[in-house]
Amino acid sequence: MSRMVQCVVLKKEAEGLDRQPYPGELGKRVFENVSKEGWQKWLRHQTILINENRLTPVDPQHRKFLEGEMQSFFFGKGSDLPDQFKPQ
């Protein structure tokens, strides 16, 4: 049987992640409060942020920025798309 969580993204109960997707306290909080579907929504959003802002995830400043955006996406006001992003 799947682990269920009350997903902060979907605003309903859904299948939880199989493991903590990110290290530290933020990763633990995501594991406890975000569903698999909610995590996939973040990954799509993160990809847009990386591409549009030309980020390199190995750069510590870029990682810090993405971590802040993840925090906002799941537990804050949300994470805005870059102004230059135009959906296809």
Enter the pTM of the model: 0.89
Q: How many CB atoms lie within 10 A of CB 78?
A: 11
Which CATH code for domain 4-75? 1.10.3880.10
- In the chain, the N- to C-terminal Cα span, in Å, equals 38
Delimit the domains of the chain by residue range: 4-75
1 pLDDT higher than 90 = no
pLDDT band at 84 (very low <50, low <70, confident <90, very high): low
